[in-house]
Structure 1
Amino acid sequence: MGKGGQRAVAPKSATSSTGSATLSQSKEQVWTSSYNPLAKDSPELPTKGQIKAVIPKECFQRSAFWSTFYLMRDLAMAAAFCYGTSQVLSTDLPQDATLILPWALGWGVYAFWMGTILTGPWVVAHECGHGAYSDSQTFNDVVGFIVHQALLVPYFAWQYTHAKHHRRTNHLVDGESHVPSTAKDNGLGPHNERNSFYAAWHEAMGDGAFAVFQVWSHLFVGWPLYLAGLASTGKLAHEGWWLEERNAIADHFRPSSPMFPAKIRAKIALSSATELAVLAGLLYVGTQVGHLPVLLWYWGPYTFVNAWLVLYTWLQHTDPSIPHYGEGEWTWVKGALSTIDRDYGIFDFFHHTIGSTHVVHHLFHEMPWYNAGIATQKVKEFLEPQGLYNYDPTPWYKAMWRIARTCHYVESNEGVQYFKSMENVPLTKDVRNKAA
C-alpha cells in the first residue's frame, strides 16, 4: 500500500462493532472508522456509479421553488430575530457599570444565534456554487453571489477552490482546505525533536491549553486565514508547482493568485471588488450610525457564521482513524468515502443537515440538500454492511475536543497517513533528562 503512517486503533479486546464504526469500551466510548486501507482484508471500494444506483432518481431533481422557499425561510427567521433583538437590546453602552455585563451577554447571545441562523443562507449559497439550487447555473450564481458576498465570502473564488476540495478530498498534496500539515511543517525534527512552531508551542502551553488554542484558532481566525492563503490550503499551485518552493501565497482575493487559472480571473476580480464594496458600505454605515452598532449587528454574527462553517469542514474530514492519501494511493472514491456524518441536533434544522448528510454531499454535490436525507439512508444501507460508511455518534462538541487534542500532523505527504497528536511526542526536557 506504499509508505504511510500507522493507524491508531483501540485494542480488540476493548472494542465492539457497530456497523461501520468501532466503539472503545474503556472509560469513554471512542468512535473509529472501520475502513482501513492498510489492512490485508480491506474491502474493494464500489464505484461512484454503483453507489448512485441505490439512490432514487428523484433525489437528484433540483427545484428552484423549494430552494428559494428554504432561503426565504432562513432570511425570514433572521429578520424576525433581528426585530425581536431590537426590542429588548440597545446598541448604546450602559452608563451604569452594573449593567454592562448583562448587556454584553445579551449581545453575545444575539451574535451566536444570529450567526447560527445566517449559516443557513450561507449553506444555500454554497449549494448554488455546486449547481444544486436550480437547473440554471446562471440563476444559481446570481443567488449564490448575492448571499455569499453579503457575508463577505468571495463567491467565485471560493466556488472554484471548494470544487477542488470535492475533486481531491483527503489528498495530502493536492487537496484543498483542511489539508494536514506534516511533522516538519509543525516544527518536528527527523527524530521527533521539538524544534519550533506548533511543536514548541504545544510543549510550552501543555495539552489542555493547546487544545483550547486549536479550537479557538480553527473557529475564530481559521476562515479569514484560509481565505488569505495563510492556513489549510493545498500545497500545489494551479499549474502543479509547489507553493513552498517559491514562497507563494494562494489567497482567494488576487486574480493572479496561483490557485486560479487565467480563464476565471475576471470572476475573481468581481468577487474581490464586491468584497471591498461591502466593507466600504459597512464603514459608511458606521460613520452614520456609529461603529459600535455595526459591530454588534453585523460583525458579531459574522464571527459565528465563520465558526460554524469551519466547524463543519473540520469535523467532517478529521479523525485519528480517517486516512489521508498521497498521490500514489489516492482515488476519488477513497477521498469521498473518507468523510464523516455526525448528528448536530437542533442545528441540523438551521443548517440544512449539511453535517449529518456530508458523505452523500461529497459523493453527489449536485444533489439538493432537501433530498440528501433520503439519499443518505440508501447509501448507508449499501455501504454500512461493507464497513464503508462513516457515522460518528459522538456529540459534536466532544468530537471537536477530541480532534483538537489528537489531530495535529501527519508524518509525510506520501502513502497512507493518519493524524498524530503532539501529546505523544516526547517533551524536550524529558529527552534531555534521559540523555543526561
Structure 2
Amino acid sequence: MVAIQNSSHTLTPETTLRDIIKTIPSEYFEKKPLRAWFGVLFSLVAAALGYASIAFSPWYLLPFAWIFTGTALTGWFVIGHDCGHRSFSNKSWVNDLVGHIAFLPLLYPFHGWRFKHDYHHLHTNKMGEDNAWYPFTVEEYEQGKGLISGVYRLIRTRFWWIGSIIHWANLHFDASLYPERQQEQVKFSYRLVIVFGAISIPALIYTTGLLGFINFFLMPWLVYHFWMSTFTIVHHTMPDIQFKSPDKWHAATDQLTGTVHCDYPAWVEWLCHDINVHVPHHVSTGIPSYNLRLAHKSLDENWGQYLYKTKFSWELMKDIGDRCHIYDAEKCYKTFAEVDPAKSI
C-alpha cells in the first residue's frame, strides 16, 4: 500500500539526494553516545532474558523463547549495522570493535558485510549492481537451470526466510569477491568468526549437549535469519517497485521511492531498534537508528506522496512470494509460471 498525501516538495529528475537530505533537521544526524550505549544495554538485557527463558521454559513454551531470543539477537545485528555505517560512534575503532562483538554471536563477518552493504546502498535497486535480493532476469534464470534456479525459486516463494542464510554463506567468507584494498579486513573478520565458532559451538555442545546447541544457538539463529530475510526482502521488493537498469536509475528517486517503510508488531520494532523505518536510512546512512522515526516524520512531511508504506502480514509475504519472481522492465516482475509454465511453484 502506498500512502499518498500532500507534501511540500516535488521530486524531479534534477532532484538530488542532497536536496532530500537538506529537508531533514541536522540534529537527527547527531550521534548521541548515551543513546547508542543504552541501545547496547537494552539488547544485552533482552538477549539475557531470552536465554534465561530458553533455560527455564517447559518444552511447550520453547518456540516462544526461541522467537523472542532470535528477535533480540536481530537487535544486536542492528547495533552492528549502525557501527558498519559509522553512525554508532565518531571513532572508527569503536565502530569496528562494537560491530565485531555484536556480530560474533551471529557468526557474521563484520567487515565483509560492511563492504557489501555499503555497495548495496550505493546501488539500491539497480540491476546488475545491487546485491540484496537482486531479481534474476529471464536469461539468468534460464542459464541457472538446475541447482541455482531451484534455490532461487525457493527463496522467491515460500522459503524466503532462508535467503539471508544463503546470502551470509555466499558473500562473506571469500575475500576474492572484494577489491584488493578490502581483502585483509574481510579476512580478519571471517577468520575471527571461524575461530569464535570453532571454540564456542563445541563448548556449547560439550556443556549442554546437542539439545542445548539446538535450543541456545540453532533455533534463535534461524529466527534471526528469518527476520533478516524478511526485513531485507520487504525493504525493496514489492510487486510495484521497479529495479532499474543503470541508464535509467536515479539516486534520489530510487532511494526515496524504491525503499519501503513497513510497520511490524511493536515488540519486534523495539527489539530490532526500528530497522523497519528504512526510508530515511536509504536517504542517508548517517542517521543513527534511534533517530530514524524522527527523520521519517520529517520525510513524511516533506516528501510524503513518494513514500511507500505497508504493514507486515502473512498476506504481504504471500503477495511478494506469489508475484515478485523474475525481473521485467515493463511491469516490474513476471511470475515463474509466466517464464516457466511447465513447473508449478
Identify whether the pair has TM-score above 0.5, normalized to the shorter chain: yes
Pick from 362, 365, 368 the counterpart of residue 282 of structure 2: 362
Question: 1:3 — aligned with what?
Answer: none
Q: Which has the higher helix share?
A: 2
Query: Is the aligned partner of 1:422 residue 2:343?
Result: no
Q: Secondary structure at the match of 1:324?
A: coil
CA separation of 1:200/1:292 partners in 2, compared to 1, >3 Å: closer, same or farther?
Answer: closer
Q: Residue 121 of structure 1 contacts residue 147 of structure 1 at CA under 8 Å; is this kept in 2?
A: yes
Between the two proteins, what is the percent identity of the paired residues? 23
Query: Is the aligned partner of 1:396 residue 2:313?
Result: yes
Q: Residue 3 of structure 2 contacts residue 307 of structure 2 at CA under 8 Å; is this kept in 1?
A: no
CA separation of 1:262/1:17 partners in 2, compared to 1, >3 Å: closer, same or farther?
Answer: closer
Pick from 1, 6, 15 the counterpart of residue 46 of structure 1: 15
Pick from 217, 230, 235 the counterpart of residue 298 of structure 1: 217
Structure 2 distance, partners of 1:199, 1:142, is: 36
CA separation of 1:147/1:108 partners in 2, compared to 1, >3 Å: closer, same or farther?
Answer: same
Pick from 166, 181, 189 the counterpart of residue 225 of structure 1: 166
CA offsets per residue over residues 322-357 of structure 1, 9 Å max, x none? 1111121112223312101111122111111111x2
Structure 2 distance, partners of 1:288, 1:417, is: 55
Question: 1:176 — aligned with what?
Answer: 131
Structure 1 distance, partners of 2:134, 2:165, is: 16
- The 10-residue stretch of structure 1 (283-292 or 317-326) with the greater mean CA deviation from structure 2: 283-292
Equivalent residues in 2 for 1:24-423, closer than 5 Å: 43-44=12-13, 46-89=15-58, 103=59, 105-187=60-142, 196-197=145-146, 214-220=156-162, 222-229=163-170, 251-255=171-175, 257-258=176-177, 260-281=178-199, 282-337=201-256, 338-346=258-266, 347-355=268-276, 357-384=277-304, 387-392=305-310, 394-411=311-328, 418-423=332-337
Letter of the 1:67 counterpart: A
Letter of the 2:181 counterpart: K
CA offsets per residue over residues 176-230 of structure 1, 9 Å max, x none? 1111111122239xxxxxx95599979xxxxxxx99874553213x22311333x
- The 10-residue stretch of structure 1 (79-88 or 308-317) with the greater mean CA deviation from structure 2: 79-88
Aligned-residue offset at 1:423: 3.9
CA offsets per residue over residues 73-102 of structure 1, 9 Å max, x none? 11112212322432334xxxxxxxxxxxxx
Structure 2 distance, partners of 1:135, 1:406, is: 43
Structure 1 distance, partners of 2:118, 2:108, is: 15
Structure 1 distance, partners of 2:149, 2:53, is: 48
CA separation of 1:418/1:197 partners in 2, compared to 1, >3 Å: closer, same or farther?
Answer: farther
CA separation of 1:214/1:64 partners in 2, compared to 1, >3 Å: closer, same or farther?
Answer: same
- TM-score where L is the length of structure 1: 0.71
CA separation of 1:185/1:54 partners in 2, compared to 1, >3 Å: closer, same or farther?
Answer: same
Letter of the 2:38 counterpart: F
Q: Aligned Cα RMSD in Å?
A: 2.9
Aligned-residue offset at 1:417: 6.6
Question: 1:433 — aligned with what?
Answer: none
CA separation of 1:17/1:116 partners in 2, compared to 1, >3 Å: closer, same or farther?
Answer: closer
Question: 1:19 — aligned with what?
Answer: 4
Structure 2 distance, partners of 1:407, 1:20, is: 26
Q: Residue 340 of structure 1 contacts residue 390 of structure 1 at CA under 8 Å; is this kept in 2?
A: yes
Q: Residue 240 of structure 2 contacts residue 332 of structure 2 at CA under 8 Å; is this kept in 1?
A: yes
Q: Residue 125 of structure 1 contacts residue 147 of structure 1 at CA under 8 Å; is this kept in 2?
A: yes
CA separation of 1:53/1:214 partners in 2, compared to 1, >3 Å: closer, same or farther?
Answer: closer
Which structure 1 segments of 5+ residues have no match? 1-15, 22-41, 90-102, 189-194, 203-209, 230-250, 430-436
Letter of the 1:375 counterpart: A
Question: 1:25 — aligned with what?
Answer: none
Aligned-residue offset at 1:287: 2.7
Q: Residue 318 of structure 1 contacts residue 403 of structure 1 at CA under 8 Å; is this kept in 2?
A: yes
CA offsets per residue over residues 130-158 of structure 1, 9 Å max, x none? 01111112111110111112211110000
| Structure with bigger gyration radius | 1
CA separation of 1:215/1:114 partners in 2, compared to 1, >3 Å: closer, same or farther?
Answer: farther
Which structure 2 segments of 5+ residues have no match? none
Q: Residue 343 of structure 1 contacts residue 396 of structure 1 at CA under 8 Å; is this kept in 2?
A: no
- TM-score where L is the length of structure 2: 0.89
Structure 1 distance, partners of 2:91, 2:273, is: 21
Figure out how many residues of one structure are paired with residues of the other and give that number: 337
CA separation of 1:20/1:163 partners in 2, compared to 1, >3 Å: closer, same or farther?
Answer: farther
CA separation of 1:45/1:291 partners in 2, compared to 1, >3 Å: closer, same or farther?
Answer: farther
Structure 1 distance, partners of 2:76, 2:23, is: 30
Q: Residue 28 of structure 2 contacts residue 291 of structure 2 at CA under 8 Å; is this kept in 1?
A: yes
Q: Residue 54 of structure 2 contacts residue 216 of structure 2 at CA under 8 Å; is this kept in 1?
A: no
Structure 2 distance, partners of 1:148, 1:404, is: 29
Q: Residue 361 of structure 1 contacts residue 372 of structure 1 at CA under 8 Å; is this kept in 2?
A: yes
